Structure 1
């Protein structure tokens, strides 16, 4: 295990219904307090996306509220999956126009993007011309780091071979190890993992389960990278941070 593994905060749960228990998002004031608490605990990596409903907008308000030091954090978001506020549902569009509009909206909401990830990446789109063009546009906006959110090893390999991704985000936990082969791929291609669903969206967070053991199981697979906790509760965030710290 390595000290270069850090805990990040996934912000899906502040923008829309989420998790194994289908928890409603908190009020905006509570969501901002969650972000501020994460920063106070020492979390410096924040992961959001347009498909997370109101998440980007709320995170942007926390950023512009200057309650956290923007220069000291990593702002990560995505393009490729979008949110329809009228229907309250997400949809996928990897065409250049949709990607460019999404990127522009995210820049306005967040002020800057440190890590831009391709949402719902597949073998067909992970290196498609429209995606490459959208990343080039992002570079012109000052984005320097790129990633892809993948759900199968074939797409992961294609992303690694593409040559312009720095990170791959994927789910992995003690009861869902199917994508474990990706760790070796990332090591081979000198890329970094971002692990989501470490507690299976809350399904593994029962009182009798040691969260530190769950985090430790993931840490044993990686030498560096990010593990995301996705809670909307300050109490659970604090517990998860303590468990992660104990897992080192």
Structure 2
């Protein structure tokens, strides 16, 4: 897959409320650490600009990433891009971490204060898509969404999204104000959302934004063909540990074989599988390297038939994936708040 600069990244409607984005987005979280050491500011700005110049217009950040530094970085990059051609998404709701895990807040006052702070850090007048990052089950979702609705009416945000929400929460939120997108983990080795979450999103006209579409880099070769950085949170992630990793390497080998059949990289095949799940699906892989960015963009050219999709799915039987997708209570670290959803009650 050479000549990735010539790849045309198509535009699609995300949800049924009018938001149009590039079919492939860019997750900015990793620029501020987590998977690797944080990149230098000028390098982070460069890769965001490079992504835009190659057709990616949908950029995802959050107030919690890098303890606000990621939004500041994205904001500086935006100053060098045409704002009207960029779809900017950010998130609120994770207030920190304590001995029990994430501190999640969803009060109307907190939502408004976070939005105002994000607008300032990003240096913009409006946010295209504003997500509630995690659901605060101590606050009725109706109260949170009502405040976000006011922010839409004031022009501070254009569209409302949810992240890691249950079916019941999605329905209740959507009844207050149309939800444009749901951000959720979805990849070849994380497919539990397919049973209930994806169908309800499609019933309600809500777009789907898969994060970690490459299995937190697994299908790009992390820990399989390249070693993990010592400061990466992946060194303690269940699926990258000891015997679990050894078992999962068998899955990687299958995808690598299929990638050769399709004349692409394993990462491109895994990402193409996600892209082909529907026109309403917009994955947001992230990277700190231009060559990986080019590889991700090249996935747009990988065309898969229904038979291909089944063959790829069958190569990653969910029951064979070793290790949970999240830390649970196993690890309490600075990485945890950005990567582990709390258990949400369905009340």
- TM-score of the two chains, using structure 1 as the length reference: 0.84
Which string of whole-angstrom CA distances, capped at 9 and with x for unpartnered residues, describes residues 176-211 of structure 1? 100113222122111211111100111221266322
Which string of whole-angstrom CA distances, capped at 9 and with x for unpartnered residues, describes residues 87-125 of structure 1? xx9742212232222111111122021111111036665
Task: Give the counterpart of 2:218 among 203, 214, 217.
Answer: 203
Question: Within 1, Cα distance between the matches of 2:178 and 2:184?
Answer: 18
Question: Within 1, Cα distance between the matches of 2:34 and 2:167?
Answer: 25
Give matches, 1:100-139, under 5 Å. 100-110=112-122, 111=124, 112-121=126-135, 125=139, 127-139=141-153
Name the structure with the higher strand share: 1
Kept in 1, the 8 Å contact 2:142–2:172? The answer is no
Task: Give the counterpart of 1:185 among 178, 200, 205.
Answer: 200
Which string of whole-angstrom CA distances, capped at 9 and with x for unpartnered residues, describes residues 104-150 of structure 1? 11111220211111110366657231442244134313422111011
Task: Give the counterpart of 1:13 among 17, 27, 30.
Answer: 30
Cα 1:3–1:41 change in 2 (3 A) is: closer
Which structure 2 segments of 5+ residues have no match? 1-9, 13-21, 226-252, 257-265, 305-347
Question: Within 2, Cα distance between the matches of 1:235 and 1:146?
Answer: 33
- TM-score of the two chains, using structure 2 as the length reference: 0.62
Cα 1:218–1:79 change in 2 (3 A) is: same
Question: Within 2, Cα distance between the matches of 1:122 and 1:104?
Answer: 20
Tell me whether 1:233 sits opposite 2:289 in the alignment.
yes
Task: Give the counterpart of 1:81 among 72, 88, 94.
Answer: 94
Tell me whether 1:61 sits opposite 2:76 in the alignment.
yes
Question: Within 1, Cα distance between the matches of 2:84 and 2:210?
Answer: 24
Match of 2:50 in 1: 37
Kept in 1, the 8 Å contact 2:207–2:281? The answer is yes
Kept in 1, the 8 Å contact 2:141–2:169? The answer is no
Which string of whole-angstrom CA distances, capped at 9 and with x for unpartnered residues, describes residues 15-57 of structure 1? 2x323xxx11111111001101101111010011101121100
Kept in 2, the 8 Å contact 1:51–1:90? The answer is no
Match of 2:41 in 1: 28
Which structure 1 segments of 5+ residues have no match? none
Tell me whether 1:52 sits opposite 2:69 in the alignment.
no
User: Is the partner of 2:135 in helix, strand or coil?
Assistant: coil
Cα 1:157–1:216 change in 2 (3 A) is: farther
Question: Within 1, Cα distance between the matches of 2:104 and 2:192?
Answer: 24
User: Is the partner of 2:281 in helix, strand or coil?
Assistant: strand
Question: Within 2, Cα distance between the matches of 1:214 and 1:230?
Answer: 14
Cα 1:7–1:142 change in 2 (3 A) is: same
Question: Within 1, Cα distance between the matches of 2:59 and 2:206?
Answer: 19
Question: Within 2, Cα distance between the matches of 1:45 and 1:227?
Answer: 10
Cα root mean square deviation, aligned: 2.6
Question: Within 2, Cα distance between the matches of 1:128 and 1:40?
Answer: 39
Kept in 1, the 8 Å contact 2:148–2:160? The answer is no
Which string of whole-angstrom CA distances, capped at 9 and with x for unpartnered residues, describes residues 145-171 of structure 1? 111011544444444455421111101
